Every structure is written in C-alpha cells, then in structure tokens.
C-alpha cells in the first residue's frame, strides 16, 4: 500500500505512515486490536462474525517477529473471541475478552467475579429479559460478567428505544457499568476496562510501545492509556476519539496492519544483516 493512502491530512491527524515507521523500529512492540468493527466487519447476527480477509494473516506474521506481541481485545468472552477469530493452537496471539475482564495470558487480569457480583448479574439478566419483551427484535446476550442488548438489524426508531431503555436500566444501578456500543448496550458488573487490561498485558510481555486500534466507545479506554508520543492509536470509522490516528473502515485497518508488518519485517531483516 502506498504511503499516500495512509496520509490522513484531510482529517487533521498526523501522518499514519510516519507513525508506523517509528513504531516498526521499537525493540519491543505490542500490536493489539479490537475485533468487531476493526478486524471484522459487522454482521446482523453477532455469532456470524469473522475476521476480514488478510487480518489474521497479518497478525499471525507480526506475532512471529522478534520482540513483537499480538493481542485481540474484545467485549466478547475469550472463548467466543477465539472461535470467531479462528485462533489455532499454534497461534501466539493473546486474547483479552469481556472488555478486559478476561485474558488468555496468565497474570494479566483477575477475571473472576465475586458472589455479590454474581447475584447482581443474575438480577440484571432477569431485568433485561423483561425489558426486551417490550422491544421486539432486540436480543439478549449473556456474558461472563455482563448482559448485553443487541439491536442490529432493527428499524432505527425501535433500536434507539431499546438501547435507551437498556441504558436507563443500567444508569439506575450504581454498581452496574453501562457500556454503549454500535447497536448494543452492555451492562457489566465487572470494573475491568480495555485500557487497564492493555496496560497490564504490555507490562507482562515487556512491550515498551503499543499499537492499538478499535471502533467503539469502549476502545477509548485503551486509546487513553497510550502515550501519544511513543504509541500509535487508530480509531476505525467516524466519531470523537482520543486516538492519535484514524482510518475509515475495516479494510483500511487491515491495510494498516499489513503495512506495519512490512515495515517491521524490514527492520528485523536489516538488524539480521548488521549482526556479525
């Protein structure tokens, strides 16, 4: 891909190509991304989701380069995320699930919820089940530490009403964390967020620099923990963001990861040549 495509002058954001060049030579690098809406196109049925062409190939290749850790970070639970992303037993790709409450790498997060949180989650799930009765077409998803209301595919008015009702249900309960997304509101009993989990993973694997991309409100937690000088954060799509860069869509993000791979491979090859 040409550097022109990655130049984001029109958005008023700094040149992504230059940022990737800087990152490619970092001795230790964490490359992490949100899944849905970033590595995978949205589908009407969230269980039909799968990675966009080229996405996993680029991530797998990055994960095999020296000093490079790759992670996928999602609101989905680790098990579902692994299945949808098509993670193989030979892959060296870390998974952070349930918005950072769960990790496939030990020592990153404490994913358990206590008895009080369990009781709260059970009550919340009952309330959400009642709520969706009033909003035909809205779907309930049970998660390990949360319950979500999905409205993808619904007429705009019905979707808005269902999401507002779910949001209000969560706002009324101070122990519940409300996480709005695209056509989804998630009500969580966990205090985890993608930013804390990303930081913890970077510490555990010893990565001094991080690349992170995502499209959702919950990805802002991750963008905010990154250093705008030494890290690169990429918002996928429109909307206000704390990210340093932006790409228009999933296809452009895959191209960005392929470009990062290309640049980092060059750095690794050069280092190999210089080595006595």
Rule CB under 5 A: which residues touch Mg ion? 34, 36-37, 215-216
User: What whole-number distance in Å separates Cα of residue 231 and Cα of residue 65?
Assistant: 18
Cβ nearer to Mg ion, comparing 67 with 75: 75
Residue 39 Cβ vs Mg ion, minimum distance, rounded to whole Å: 9
Cβ nearer to Mg ion, comparing 154 with 250: 250
Contact 49, 38 (CB under 8 A): no
User: What whole-number distance in Å separates Cα of residue 157 and Cα of residue 34?
Assistant: 28
Residue 181 Cβ vs Mg ion, minimum distance, rounded to whole Å: 7
Cβ nearer to Mg ion, comparing 77 with 216: 216
User: What whole-number distance in Å separates Cα of residue 92 and Cα of residue 96?
Assistant: 13
Taking alpha carbons only, the member of 33, 35, 37, 86 closest to residue 62 is: 33
Helices and strands: H and E segment counts in the chain: 9, 11
- Judged by DSSP in three states, 231 sits in coil
Residue 27 Cβ vs Mg ion, minimum distance, rounded to whole Å: 30
Contact 175, 189 (CB under 8 A): yes
Residue 42 Cβ vs Mg ion, minimum distance, rounded to whole Å: 8
Residue nearest to Mg ion according to CB distances in the complex = 37
Residue 184 Cβ vs Mg ion, minimum distance, rounded to whole Å: 9
Cβ nearer to Mg ion, comparing 202 with 222: 222
User: What whole-number distance in Å separates Cα of residue 204 and Cα of residue 103?
Assistant: 12
Cβ nearer to Mg ion, comparing 60 with 182: 182
């Amino acid at each position: 891909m040409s550097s022109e495509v990655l130049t984001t002058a029109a958005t008023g954001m700094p040149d992504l190509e230059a940022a990737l060049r800087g990152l490619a030579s970092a001795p230790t690098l964490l490359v992490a991304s949100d899944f849905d809406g970033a590595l995978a196109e949205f589908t009407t049925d969230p269980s039909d989701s799968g990675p966009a062409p080229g996405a996993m190939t680029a991530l797998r290749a990055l994960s095999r380069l020296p000093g490079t850790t790759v992670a996928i970070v999602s609101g989905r639970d680790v098990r579902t995320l692994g299945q949808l992303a098509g993670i193989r037993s030979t892959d060296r790709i870390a998974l952070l699930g349930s918005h950072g409450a769960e990790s496939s790498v030990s020592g990153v997060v404490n994913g358990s919820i206590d008895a009080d949180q369990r009781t709260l989650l059970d009550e919340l799930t009952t309330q959400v089940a009642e709520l969706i009765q009033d909003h035909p077409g809205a779907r309930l998803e049970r998660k390990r530490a949360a319950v979500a209301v999905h409205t993808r595919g619904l007429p705009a008015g019905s979707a808005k009403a269902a999401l507002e009702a779910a949001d209000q249900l969560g706002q009324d309960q101070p122990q519940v964390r409300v996480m709005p997304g695209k056509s989804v509101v998630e009500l969580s009993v966990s205090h985890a967020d993608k930013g804390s989990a990303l930081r913890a993973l970077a510490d555990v694997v010893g990565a001094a620099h991080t690349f992170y991309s995502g499209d959702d409100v919950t990805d802002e937690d991750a963008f905010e923990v990154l250093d705008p000088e030494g890290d690169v954060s990429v918002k996928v799509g429109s909307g206000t963001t704390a990210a340093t860069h932006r790409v228009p869509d999933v296809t452009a993000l895959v191209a960005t990861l392929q470009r990062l791979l290309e640049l980092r491979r060059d750095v690794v090859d050069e280092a190999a040549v210089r080595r006595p």
